Structure 1
């Protein structure tokens, strides 16, 4: 049985970390499209934040050669970013063992989520066994920074709230403490958003994502199939 892990990688040289640092109010999630030369194409999902500030950060990033806004749904904008530099040029000054980094691509693992933070990446994914997970853990411990958030066996149910981002947890906790979920409500969406320093629409989407995740990891998995 495989393992499911989520962990922080502290390395400011990783792609798009400078963008996350420039727009800390936005959440950046990545998907990687391989087979595009030295660096794959990056699909960047940006939730919240001010669009002009984000695009200025793209333009000032040494990693980004070009970017294109390819879609938008609510507060989430989808960009295709084309790298300007190779693997060696991007990480060469920060990581000595580039061969070890390339070797991770051959590990029996599947990284399913990458969130960019102002200090590095949060990665979550599936690993075939403990050896596959240890390859990631040992590499990042030796070359940058590593902090394990959770490690479970594939198929084990997550505890409620596991897998939520820090911002989602903060939004849920603040909304709860201010009385947003009480009946009747003692705080409005705008009240909670003002407390967090974000727009009401950004808060609404953040709460929806958090609530969807909690439902999917608790009651949704126990429901019987719908009848045909």
Structure 2
């Protein structure tokens, strides 16, 4: 049965480590990722939280990448195409050895968050064993099967996203007008406003995508 896993990787064991350290306020989101050969991957990366000049300088000095090209500068968001050539053992194993698919991937500060579709639960286990053997960190935060029908796993929410969304609903954050501010909610959850905003945004996106998939499946059953 196909399995989706939410995992975390430490930035110091992965590509763009130096860049994340040089520009700590930047957030990276991989919008497309493909393996090219057995030694590098070519992602399209959306960057927010920084300007083009410091980001270009950081990317130029980062030994884990090459040929970083700025494709679009929207002011509050940058789009790059680049080659990742180092610290990509985990990604190469997932894509080439286990036939996995990277559904979502974003990084900030000291970690990367990935949502990976594995063909079977065994291929997820094999990836974990691969990382253990290589001395790499592969922290599994959430696992659910595509046929799972109950619980949070049905929607693919991480624990943090689920907690943030439930608390926001209970405290009236989504009410009009709002009964609580982002700052008050962040203080209650003991996280930064930026971290909370990210959890709400990504959790909301996951819920919408899951609802659309459920709707499509229901339409197919009725036909």
What's the TM-score, normalizing by structure 2? Answer: 0.68
Structure 1 residues 1-52: Cα deviation after superposition (integer angstroms, max 9, x where no partner)? 2211111223613111222233333321223233368323221122x31113
Work out which of the residue numbers 130, 146, 150 in structure 2 matches 1:154: 146
The verdict on how the C-alpha distance between 1:188 and 1:151 changes in structure 2, with shifts beyond 3 A counting, is closer
Once superposed, which parts of structure 1, at least 4 consecutive aligned residues long, lie more than 4 Å away? 72-75, 100-104, 168-179, 186-193, 195-198, 205-209, 222-225
What residue in structure 2 maps to residue 163 of structure 1? 157
SS of the aligned residue for 1:221 comes to helix
Alignment partner of 1:182: what SS? coil
- The equivalences for 1:108-187 within 5 A come to 108-142=99-133, 143-157=135-149, 159=152, 162-163=156-157, 180-186=173-179
For these two proteins, the number of residue pairs brought into alignment is 209
2:182/2:193 contact within 8 Å kept: no
- Unmatched 5+ stretches in structure 1: none
- CA RMSD, aligned part only? 4.1
Residues 141, 158 of structure 2: 8 Å contact kept: no
Q: Which consecutive unaligned segments of at least 5 residues does structure 2 have?
A: none
Match of 1:212 in 2: 205
Q: Secondary structure at the match of 1:217?
A: helix
SS at match of 1:145: coil
Give the superposition deviation at 1:145: 1.5
Higher helix fraction: Structure 1 or Structure 2? 2
Superposed, which structure 2 residues align to 1:94-113 within 5 Å? 104=94, 105-113=96-104
Compute the displacement of 1:147 (Å).
1.5
| Contact 1:68 1:79 (8 Å CA) reproduced | yes
- TM-score, normalised to structure 1's length? 0.67
Corresponding residue for 2:214?
221
Checking the alignment, whether the CA contact within 8 Å between 1:21 and 1:117 is kept in structure 2 is: no
- In structure 2, the CA distance between the partners of 1:163 and 1:171, relative to structure 1 (3 Å rule), is closer
Corresponding position of 2:6: 6
Residue aligning to 1:80: 81
